[in-house]
A and B are shown apart, each in its own frame.
Chain A
Amino acid sequence: MSKYYLNYLDELESEAIYVLREVWAQFQNPVILFSGGKDSILVAHLAKKAFYPAKIPFPLMHVDTGHNFPETIQFRDDTLKELGVNLIVGSVQEAIDDGRVAEEKGKNATRNSLQITTLLDAIEANKVDCAIGGGRRDEEKARAKERFFSHRDDFGQWDPKNQRPELWNLFNGKHFEGEHFRAFPISNWTEMDVWNYICRENIAIPSLYYAHEREVVWRSDSWIPNSEFLKLEDGEEIVTKKIRFRTLGDITITGGIESDADTLEKIAEEVSGMRQTERGNRTDDKRSESAMEDRKRQGYF
């Protein structure tokens, strides 16, 4: 066999770097959407490589729901320092205080869908013409139809039935004033690819992904962390468990799994044996069969 071929992780890495450079070349004012979760950390890591020895030539943007894990915010700030880039914060709390959006009511209330308004406001206020996200096509059935360069109309909406065809590596980012794009450099990565790559590159990730002792309560088939936002229901009880998180979202809705995986190698090994999808522990995706598609149409990540 010829020695001139790339293994799959190297090919995915080169593809993502190509997409990031293409964004920089085709847009005036891009940002990387950064949540402090593993996928956005990966995108930032790849962007660092794409522009080395220059710094990443655009800022990170964080849509802050106010319902964060404290560890995530600390990690975000450390990352900024390390990369030497600026941060734009869109605050869901401010949007609530200003009356732009109303807090959900009821037992399973979350701020998940409230992020849409804040995200679109922040994009408009900062004249962002391309928001780079860590979305992956293997995550969910609506995401499976996403382009690398995904067009949004002047209301920030996605029209899955009328997407631009994307051929070869020729991405078309042309747009009119007021419209913007979402770009997804790691479209073709699976959860396993992400972990294998993080492991290979030894990328720093928040301690929440590693097994640790934490106060939790059993709810909706997973361990929901104790926090100032948690209201105990009848029959629920706070216990201390050794857990870790497979994905990171709001502290109010992100369920942990019992685990002893305390190194990247152990995490990758654990994930490879998982028989449930990673979003199975996210109550935001359990709402209906088209929960993600509906949010995406409105302008979600």
Chain B
Amino acid sequence: MELNNNQLLRFTTAGSVDDGKSTLIGRLLYDSKSIFEDQLEAIESTSQKKGHEGVDLALFTDGLKDEREQGITIDVAYRYFTTPKRKFIIADTPGHIQYTRNMVTGASTANAAIILVDARHGVIEQTKRHAFIASLLQIPHLVVCINKMDLVDFKEEVYNKIVKQFQDFSSKLLVQDVRFIPISALLGDNVVNRSENMAWYNGAPMLHTLETIHISSDFNSVDARFPVQTVLRPQRDGFIDYRGYAGRISSGIFRPGDEVTVMPSGFTSKIKTVEGPKGELDEAYAPMSISMTLEDDIDIGRGDMIVRSNNKPEPAQDLEVMLCWLNNAPARPRAKYTVRHTTNEQTAMIKEILYKIDIETLGRNLEDKELGMNDICKVKIRTTKPLMIDSYRENRATGSLILVDETTNETVAAGMIVQ
């Protein structure tokens, strides 16, 4: 067995029911030999029962009873596979009902997004929506797979035309890295294995692309942010005065000796020790779970943030946020919600809805200010006490928040802080 330094890559897949998303995932798992024999037998027997020709790889992603019966996907499902180069987590998001809600959920932790385009139809409204959400959630890498190339005779012109369509549109979005791959999920062309039918394509197949995308610089390594989850006080021999601040580093690097400031109190101290899962460390970085001790005895608790003194986030009570509404009950203007930001929790009020994004045209709608399920609006929020924020564009961990409805305890909105 090898203990290696392989990284973990999380990606989300976006596509409508007919784009062949399930077939693509099935193909990826099948060709990378991630499907077990008993799973394959189950799919074979279901394929036969349904009268499909051969093995329908799409069945591999079937989940709950209702989903199998209705042939739809209801909720995000997570799937796993490993190659000799990387471990992968797929957030498989459904293409239709509650689309935005599910894709936003899957996108929030993703390093990469796969966007599927049907080669016969080219870039359609839905493609634009997928790309927009990927850019809104700041997924660092987009892989646009032009699928069903077999149905357009594997023609290079078709591929080039769609690439051009997509580029014309995506130039308006904030996406750092976009790649295009012509594939046939059904036949396996350019998924795991290079296509023999498209010799004109010089790029890598999809799996190779996912295996080699450079992700270690996707984390913000500049702004050192450490939200405190809980305080460890062992109160036993050898540790009587021990106070360890436990949490997961959001971004940046921390080292013993660093001058730090505790927000919001503003007290300063120096890091005495940093301890990771394997013991004491010389340096620790995102996304490590650690505990640290400080030179001085300061009152610190959950919700506080330890940062390097020369680089502090901004305390803010009035925020501008891109808010994606996730609940059947629409937002109640001026109602109180609980806001969760890092490990901090405050009461908040939506003071003003500035505009709604028209998901069809991606334009701003200044008239319709209803914030209902799947809507994305830019809003002004006021909190009872300051949050220690960075903009989402600079820092996904300290620039994101959720709203919880105090009357139902449900998570009703996801927010990306603009400023």
Contact = CB atoms under 8 A, between A and B. Distances in A.
A18 interface: yes
B87 A8 contact: yes
Contacts of B253: 4
B289 A141 contact: no
A265 B1 contact: yes
A51 B235 CA distance: 12
Interface stretch (A105-113, A125-133, A163-171): A163-171
Interface string A102-126: 0000000000000000000000000
Contact of B338 (A145, A161, A174): A174
A200 interface: yes
Contacts of A6: 7-8, 287-288
A1 B229 contact: no
A1 B38 contact: no
Contact of B36 (A11, A142, A275): A275
A54 B343 CA distance: 21
Interface string B1-43: 1011111100000000000000000000000000011110010
Contact of B64 (A1, A52, A141, A169): A141
B416 to A, nearest CB: 10
A70 B238 CA distance: 37
B68 A167 contact: no
A293 B77 CA distance: 14
Interface string B264-297: 0000000000010100000001011101000000
Nearest to B287: A14
A145 B66 CA distance: 13
Given A137-B80, A138-B80, A174-B409, A276 B7 contact: no
B89 A142 contact: no
B188 interface: no
Contact of B65 (A1, A166, A192, A293): A293
Q: A1, A14, A165, A289 — which one has the most chain B CB atoms within 10 A of its CB? A: A165
A223 B146 CA distance: 48
B411 interface: yes
B340 interface: yes
B305 to A, nearest CB: 14
B57 to A, nearest CB: 15
Interface stretch (B113-121, B124-132, B151-159, B397-405): B397-405
B8 A8 contact: yes
A295 to B, nearest CB: 12
Interface string B203-237: 00000000000111101010000000110111110
A32 interface: no
Q: A2, A8, A163, A293 — which one has the most chain B CB atoms within 10 A of its CB? A: A8
A232 interface: no
B368 interface: no
- Residues of A in contact with B, size category: 35 or more
A53 interface: yes
B353 interface: no
Contacts of A54: 232-236, 239
B234 A53 contact: yes
Contacts of B229: 18, 21-22, 25
A244 B36 CA distance: 20
B221 A277 contact: no
A13 B277 contact: yes
A50 B411 contact: no
Contacts of A272: 1
B201 interface: no
A260 interface: no
A95 B411 CA distance: 36
A144 B247 contact: no
B287 A200 contact: no
B76 interface: yes
Given A25-B343, A188-B89, A53 B239 contact: yes
B82 interface: yes
Contacts of A193: 87
Contacts of B244: 53
Interface in A166-200: 166-170, 172, 174-176, 187-188, 190, 192-193, 196, 199-200
Contact of B289 (A50, A161, A170): A50
Interface of B: 1, 3-8, 36-39, 42, 62-66, 68, 74-80, 82, 86-87, 89, 101-102, 104-105, 108-109, 214-217, 219, 221, 229-230, 232-236, 238-239, 242, 244, 246-248, 253, 275, 277, 285, 287-289, 291, 302, 326, 338, 340-341, 343, 396-397, 400-402, 404, 409-411, 414
Q: Which 7 pairs from chain A and chain B are nearest by CB? A: A5-B216, A17-B289, A174-B409, A8-B8, A14-B289, A54-B234, A8-B87
12 contacts: A7-B8, A18-B289, A50-B289, A138-B79, A164-B411, A167-B109, A174-B404, A174-B409, A190-B80, A192-B82, A268-B1, A280-B38
Given A138-B79, A174-B409, 14 more contacts: A6-B7, A11-B8, A15-B287, A53-B238, A145-B77, A165-B102, A165-B105, A166-B105, A167-B108, A168-B396, A175-B409, A188-B80, A188-B89, A294-B65
